[in-house]
Structure 1
Amino acid sequence: MGPFTDARDDNRFEQMFDGEGGEGRVWADYAVRGGARMILHVEADQSLRGSGAAGRFMQAMAEHAREHGLKLFPQCSYAVAWHKRHPDYDDVLA
């Protein structure tokens, strides 16, 4: 698992993971709204689908938000569902 990064120029969070088909990337496109990041879309490379990498990425994103004082506003169905299953990260929701 690689480091969680905020590619601010691209409005994208991303992280590399090892999957069955080799290394792959999970990313989330976001829009900036003040101190909040609206999570527009979360996607994983095909090689990582079903591996749990997207869930680990979501946890890393929530921890990053907590660490940097950011608020997350999930918009895509995956991010919304993940946050509903993880109320321990409600403090990072906008």
Structure 2
Amino acid sequence: MIDIKHLNHGQKGSFDLYYEGTKAGNMTYTSAGKDKIIIDHTEVSPEYGGKGLAKELVFAGAAYARENGKKIIPLCTYAKSTFEKHRELHDVLA
């Protein structure tokens, strides 16, 4: 089971991913003005690799952006690659 928790600390925030109750990864972002966020880091612990968990984090960030009228600037190489591969995310791409 996957659980993703969003933490917002003003200008910075993160999405923490828990896999079967254990923290397995996270994605961090920084606000860029009122209507954009910059995804700057995505990481999943090596023992959880190959399960698509990093992709789940990027999709959670996209859902957050849609719900809050924000656009995403993916500076993290993984997030950038995910946006390039998934056209369904392009609506929130800055």
Same fold flag (TM > 0.5): yes
Q: 1:38-85: per-residue Cα shift (whole Å, max 9, x none)?
A: 111111233322221111111111111111111110001101100001
1:50 aligned onto 2:81: no
CA distance in 1 between counterparts of 2:26 and 2:4 reads 12
CA distance in 2 between counterparts of 1:32 and 1:10 reads 5
For structure 1, the residue ranges without an aligned partner over 5 or more in a row are none
More helix by share: 1
8 Å Cα contact 1:24/1:44 also seen in 2: no
**How large is the Cα RMSD of the aligned pairs?**
2.0
Q: TM-score scaled to structure 2, two decimals?
A: 0.81
Distance 1:45 1:12, change over 3 A: farther
Of all paired residues, the percent bearing the same amino acid is 27
Question: What's the counterpart of residue 27 of structure 1?
Answer: 26
For structure 2, the residue ranges without an aligned partner over 5 or more in a row are none
Equivalent position amino acid for 1:88 in 2: E
Q: TM-score scaled to structure 1, two decimals?
A: 0.81
